[in-house]
Structure 1
Amino acid sequence: MRLAVYLPLLLPALAALAARPLADRLHPRLATWLLTVSAVALAAASSAALALLALAGLARLPLVAALGHWSARVMQRDDPTALWTALIAGALLTAAAAAAVRMFWRRIRILLAAAAEAACLPGTGEVVIMDDPAAEAYAVPGLPGRIVVSTGMLHALDPAERDILLAHERAHLAGRHYLFTAAAQLAAAANPLLRPLASAVAYTVERWADEDAAAACGDRRRVARTVGKAALASSRTGARSRFPATALGILGRHSASLRTAGPVPRRVAALLTTPPGRRTLPLAVAAAILLAAALCSIEAAHDFEALFELARLR
């Protein structure tokens, strides 16, 4: 097999460099879809490349060749893949598969636990008010999902800001943002080079909810002020100690204090500028990376099939 089989192993690194520019320059809904699909596609392409390399090395063994009725001599002569490369590919593929299965099972258990938690929350309404001085608010996915808001957060915001907060949390539930973050995390588990894409998706789903809240209230600056006030209130009251693993909140996943606020200042800054539009260049870059991964995977699979056909004829 030629160079085509190795390129899908390198493209995730290129995608990782493009993750933050895509998250900042595209509309968050489009960025979320694009980053999630890219992460899953690149994880699949890199796993396929590892599988082809591992199979090519395995096929060179005389015992395996005898069982498959092909020529081990032809495989050894015509396959440029070194045996040590195939062994490394097999080890990496095994590690990737184990990590992906572990992450998949973890996310399934978390989502089931979240659905059970949502069903067990007091009351029957969409919004659950918790008597807690710590300023907190988050959406718990379920059938249906629930929105949890603490009394500390309600006291920190005025009525209009409370409406913005609820609009933000409703956007998380309506957009099923937890599925995007779960898919991106699963892809990152299979290929650690894709972790920047998973982090970017965690940011863009919050931006998506921010934009939906801004559309609902008609005032982007008011939404930015609400996000900032919520972050300050959370920092002062020491919230986030009981944040559910699968929940999404107005402060994002990692906002325990202003020192670790991470995406919050970026979100506020984005809300204080004009809404992001459709940018041709970032879309073209992402499309080129995905197309290259697809074409390389197809070419590598074709080479692999041709090699086996040749080995069967000898």
Structure 2
Amino acid sequence: MIHIAWLPLLVPFLAAPAGRRPASHLSPRQAVRLLTAAAAGLAAASTCALALLIVPGATHLHVVAAPGHLLTPLSSGSPDAVIAIAVTAGALLAWCAARLVQGVRRRRTQLRRAGMLAAEADGELVVLPDEHPDAYALPGSPGRIVVTSGMLRALSAPEREVLIAHERAHLRERHHLFTAVADLAGLCHPALRTLREPLAYALERSADESAARAVGSRRLTARAIGRAALATRASSAAGRTRPGPALPATAGPVPRRVAALLGHGTEARTARPHAQRAAVVALVACVALSAGASVQAADDLHDGIEAAQGESR
């Protein structure tokens, strides 16, 4: 049981190379859903694996063995090694749980503050009197689109329409929830932090495609995104911060986003079919292997408990 329980802890390290391909070879919405589901699934499996690794060592304690009617500990190898693994797994599980609780609280606080800021504004669009060009979606109930006066001056009227359509897509599709799942998964297993970057790119590409459909021009959308990014980077951003859950229009690798828009189709359309299939299969295989190993480890643990109970009768 102990050997197979290690797999869910090791598989997430394969998610980094496997996670880059879906963002480039699938449609943005498909990539968003796949990457988010993979992050959540791998995080859950690795957490379960830590819990399962605790049990064999814990059965060496009378306070644990007595309620389970175990007169002998589970036979899972050398007692010293089993106990050491259990202690280490318990410490890691407690550390992950503390980080997860802290992350959830921090996210809730950020969303609450964002909601308060959004509630203070009248209308969907909020224009800040700030010379620094910036624009972002502020999730709340309802969400708001925040644009500075500097950004409005940097763009033409059609380009402003693109920018607003982009941020409106972030709010409508509730993209902040996907980023929250990825961030929390990264707190459960450090290797899953690598999925945050391809997911962020897929989210921006999804909003880009929505904006292009809204304004009816991919070229105009590409120009607006490029000019907004150049304006933001040309202006000093020292000391400036956005609210925690804000989704800026100029995030991610802007040149890749512009190139995808100017390609007259998403990257998924230009990619070879086998590349698309490989991208999906690689990440799904990681999740399936991790989940399957967790289930098998739990089944082996159950069999071991039954065997130990049988010996005690």
User: TM over 0.5, yes or no?
Assistant: yes
Q: How does 1:39-58 map to 2 (within 5 A)?
A: 39-58=39-58
Shift of 1:78: 9.2
Shift of 1:265: 2.1
Classify 1:284/1:110 alpha carbon distance in 2 versus 1 (closer, same or farther; 3 Å).
same
Could you tell me whether the CA contact under 8 Å between 1:78 and 1:307 is conserved in 2? no
In the alignment, which residue of structure 2 is the partner of 1:131?
Answer: 129
CA distance in 2, matches of 1:177, 1:80: 47
Instruction: For 2:266, give the aligned amino acid.
Output: P
Shift of 1:72: 2.7
Instruction: For 1:117, give the aligned amino acid.
Output: L
TM-score (normalised: structure 1): 0.91
In the alignment, which residue of structure 2 is the partner of 1:265?
Answer: 255
Instruction: For 1:209, give the aligned amino acid.
Output: A
Identify the match of residue 231 of structure 1 among 207, 229, 250: 229
Farther off after superposition, 293-302 or 236-245: 236-245
Instruction: For 1:155, give the aligned amino acid.
Output: R
Classify 1:197/1:80 alpha carbon distance in 2 versus 1 (closer, same or farther; 3 Å).
farther
CA distance in 1, matches of 2:77, 2:237: 64
Encode CA deviations 1:96-134: one digit per residue, 9 max, x unaligned.
Answer: 11111111111011111111110012xx21111111111
CA distance in 2, matches of 1:238, 1:77: 60
Encode CA deviations 1:118-166: one digit per residue, 9 max, x unaligned.
Answer: 0012xx2111111111111111111110111111111111111011000
What are the ranges of 5 or more consecutive residues in structure 1 without an aligned counterpart?
253-261
Q: How does 1:86-105 map to 2 (within 5 A)?
A: 86-105=86-105
Identify the match of residue 291 of structure 1 among 288, 292, 302: 288
Instruction: For 2:99, give the aligned amino acid.
Output: A
CA distance in 1, matches of 2:81, 2:128: 60
Structure 2 residue 202 is the aligned partner of structure 1 residue 204: yes
TM-score (normalised: structure 2): 0.91
Encode CA deviations 1:271-308: one digit per residue, 9 max, x unaligned.
Answer: 22231337222112222222112211111110011111
Classify 1:12/1:76 alpha carbon distance in 2 versus 1 (closer, same or farther; 3 Å).
closer
Structure 2 residue 275 is the aligned partner of structure 1 residue 276: no
Could you tell me whether the CA contact under 8 Å between 1:184 and 1:197 is conserved in 2? yes
CA distance in 2, matches of 1:269, 1:113: 36
Task: Give the SS at the match of 2:136.
Answer: strand
In the alignment, which residue of structure 1 is the partner of 2:120?
Answer: 120
Classify 1:7/1:79 alpha carbon distance in 2 versus 1 (closer, same or farther; 3 Å).
farther
In the alignment, which residue of structure 1 is the partner of 2:10?
Answer: 10
CA distance in 1, matches of 2:76, 2:135: 61
In the alignment, which residue of structure 2 is the partner of 1:255?
Answer: none
Task: Give the SS at the match of 2:66.
Answer: helix
CA distance in 1, matches of 2:286, 2:101: 26
Identify the match of residue 165 of structure 1 among 163, 166, 170: 163
CA distance in 2, matches of 1:234, 1:21: 29
Encode CA deviations 1:214-260: one digit per residue, 9 max, x unaligned.
Answer: 122232222121111111111222248131111101012xxxxxxxx
Instruction: For 2:267, give the aligned amino acid.
Output: P
Farther off after superposition, 40-49 or 52-61: 52-61
Identify the match of residue 306 of structure 2 among 303, 309, 314: 309
Shift of 1:65: 1.4
Instruction: For 2:19, give the aligned amino acid.
Output: A
Instruction: For 1:129, give the aligned amino acid.
Output: V
Could you tell me whether the CA contact under 8 Å between 2:162 and 2:221 is conserved in 1? yes
Task: Give the SS at the match of 2:147.
Answer: strand
CA distance in 2, matches of 1:12, 1:98: 20
CA distance in 2, matches of 1:143, 1:48: 34
Structure 2 residue 66 is the aligned partner of structure 1 residue 66: yes
Could you tell me whether the CA contact under 8 Å between 1:129 and 1:148 is conserved in 2? yes
Could you tell me whether the CA contact under 8 Å between 2:49 and 2:294 is conserved in 1? yes
Farther off after superposition, 12-21 or 71-80: 71-80
Structure 2 residue 36 is the aligned partner of structure 1 residue 36: yes
In the alignment, which residue of structure 2 is the partner of 1:21?
Answer: 21
CA distance in 1, matches of 2:74, 2:37: 39
Instruction: For 1:289, give the aligned amino acid.
Output: C
In the alignment, which residue of structure 1 is the partner of 2:245?
Answer: 246
Shift of 1:44: 0.5
Instruction: For 1:205, give the aligned amino acid.
Output: L
Q: How large is the Cα RMSD of the aligned pairs?
A: 1.9
Shift of 1:189: 0.8
